[in-house]
Amino acid sequence: MTSPLLTVNGLNSFYGRAHILADVDLQVGAGEVVALMGRNGAGKSTTFRSIMGLVEQRRGALSFGGADISTAEPFEIARLGLGYVPEDRRIFTELTVMENLEVGRQPARAGSPTWTPERLFDLFPNLAEMRDRPGGRMSGGEQQMLTIARTLMGNPRMILLDEPSEGLAPRIVEMMANAIVALKSQGLTVMLCEQNLHFAALVSDRAYVIEKGRIRYQGTMAALQADDEVRRAYLTM
């Protein structure tokens, strides 16, 4: 693994009195694609939300690109170059495609790819035809593309992708996988969470497995695929 871009040490998160994450440790190296696998309710989204500073009650040492983000606010974390794509997409339904992209726009950043709407339309050709369409009148797959494109407008060094394949038609899932591979080849670091092992295996180098808020396994994607026991214990329904 190259030098870690994102480091999470001893992350604990709470919703009210419920202790959701317990001592989560993660590392993601620059240029890697890492999957966070786990069943429904395992704590995948909470991990991402905690890293982004969106969970109010969180403890632990988090750093990104050498900067301490343990107490930083979401917008500060985003401006450091960590992009976040939420699981429920959260498109601004009243805003057009172009306006959604505008909200995500941030200045260019040395060392990470610079995105413009035109470049994003190359990556997601479907979006090019609906520049002025309100986000509320798009299909689920189109919204998923838009939410990723919107985050890329911030020219991030790394993105957190929450279940990019969820609820999408097989053809669109394949497109997503291709897009992620293309992003990786441009030097973008990606961490994605998934329940779909097949999809994760298509794009990821390494994997963590989370269950009940604890990391239970880490290793290369190939090793995880080969390990029936872990898969049966933590992944299959």
Ligand X SMILES: Nc1ncnc2c1ncn2[C@@H]1O[C@H](COP(=O)(O)OP(=O)(O)OP(=O)(O)O)[C@@H](O)[C@H]1O
Contact residues for ligand X (CB under 6 A)?
Answer: 15, 18, 20, 38, 40-46, 87, 195
Among 9, 63, 106, 218, binds other proteins (CB under 8 A): 106
Tallying the residues shown for the chain, one arrives at: 237
Residue closer to other proteins (CB basis): 22 or 95: 95
Do 160 and 191 touch, CB atoms closer than 8 A? Answer: yes
Question: What, of Mg ion, ligand X, other proteins, none, does residue 150 touch, CB below 5 to 8 Å by kind?
Answer: other proteins
SS3 32: coil
- Residue closer to Mg ion (CB basis): 112 or 147: 147
* Neighbouring-strand partners of residue 27: 7
Q: Is 104 a residue that touches other proteins (CB under 8 A)?
A: yes
Question: Least separation, in Å, of the C-beta of 38 and Mg ion?
Answer: 9
Q: How far is the CB of 192 from ligand X (least distance, A)?
A: 12
| Separation of alpha carbons 179 and 192, rounded Å | 13
Question: Judged by CB under 8 A, does residue 113 bind other proteins?
Answer: no
H or E segment to which residue 215 belongs: strand 214-220
Contact flags string 176-215 toward other proteins, x per CB under 8 A: ----------------------------------------
**H helical segments located in the chain:** 44-51, 74-79, 97-104, 117-123, 125-128, 140-152, 170-185, 197-203, 221-226, 228-230
